[in-house]
Structures are given as C-alpha cells and as structure tokens.
Amino acid sequence: MIYIELFVTFFVIGMFTIGGGYAMLSLIQNEVVTVHGWIDEMTFTDIVAISQMTPGPIGINTATYIGYDVLAGTGASEFMCVLGSFTATFAVVLPSFIIVLSICKVYDRFRDHYLFKGVMTGLRPATLGLIGTAALGLATPDNFIDWKSYMICLLTFIALYFKKIGPFAALGLGALAGIILY
C-alpha cells in the first residue's frame, strides 16, 4: 500500500538525516526520484522551490508536497491526497521527535562527556556535506541555470549584503525580475 511505502520511506529519511531540511533534500531526492520513481527531477526541483518559499522547514514542506503529489498521481481523491501529505509529514518528523525527546532525558547527564562532544563535533562537517550534496543534486542538466538566473542571484546578494535591504524586499525584487526576464 502506498501509505505504508510513504511512511517507511520518510521515516527512514527522518531517522538518518541530521542537520535540518537542507541536509535532508539529497536523501529525499534519491528516494522519491531514483529509488521509487514517484516524481521526476524537474518536479522535484519545483517542489524544492515551492518549499523554500512557503513558511516552515524545507524538509517538512517537501515531504508534505510529495505525499500529496504521489497520491494525486495515482488518481486518488482529494481526501486521500491530503492523507498522503499527512503520512509523509508525520513520518519525517517522528524520528526527530523521538530523538530529541530521548536526548532531553539524558543531555544534562552526558553533555560534558568526551564521547558526546566527539559525536557532536563529527556531525557538523557531515551536515555540511549533506547540504552541499543537495545543492549539487539540484544542478542537473534538466534545470541548468542560465545567465539571467546568475544575474538575479548576484544582484540579490549585492542588495542583501551591501545595500542591507530586507529579505522580503529581496524576494519581491527577485520575483519581479523573474517575471520580467522569463
């Protein structure tokens, strides 16, 4: 049954992802595009873009949308699609909830232990690697960025870093530039 597959897939993704939603993207992409073939590369890229624009963590937003899209692709009813969203979202969050609850119980006791400090120190570069993998994984020939996109990115960086405009203004100007240029 598709709900069980969604739950197991996103539970495993949630279990083995440390570092947040961006670190999770490469695992999600591998599972839903390559392993299961539920969606294609371009759809995944669109999902990531939409997930970045909507409020909330990107990994959870991505799981929610994929859960809906997978069921919609089978011709399921609206209610069943929403249930698919709920299943994927619940499954990706559940491991983190269990882990954080467990850590809270023992954190004060072990926070100064050298093994705990070593594990935390090792997780930082691993998280950076997962985020980098997600970024490289999104740069496929299907969605190769042209010079206009690079210009929007560069001008947005300059506006944010040097001119100190706010993030909402940067998003609005980037959207406006995209509408005009594309």
Amino acid at 108: D
Q: Average pLDDT, whole number, for the chain?
A: 86
* CA-CA-CA-CA torsion sign (17, 23, 26, 31): positive
pTM over 0.85: no
CA 69 vs CA 5, 61, 76, 120: distances in Å: 14, 12, 10, 36
Per-residue pLDDT tens digits of the chain, which is 182 residues long: 899 999 999 999 998 877 777 778 888 999 999 999 999 988 998 888 888 888 888 889 999 999 999 999 899 999 999 999 999 999 999 998 998 888 888 877 888 888 888 887 888 788 777 777 777 776 666 666 677 877 887 888 888 888 888 888 888 888 888 888 87
Sorted by where each begins, the domain ranges of the chain are 2-144, 145-182
DSSP string of 65-84, one letter each residue? HHHHHHHHHTT--HHHHHHH
Structure tokens at 20: 């947040």
Kindly state the DSSP code that residue 32 receives in the 8-state scheme: I
Question: Which is nearest to 9 in space by CA: 22, 29, 18?
Answer: 29
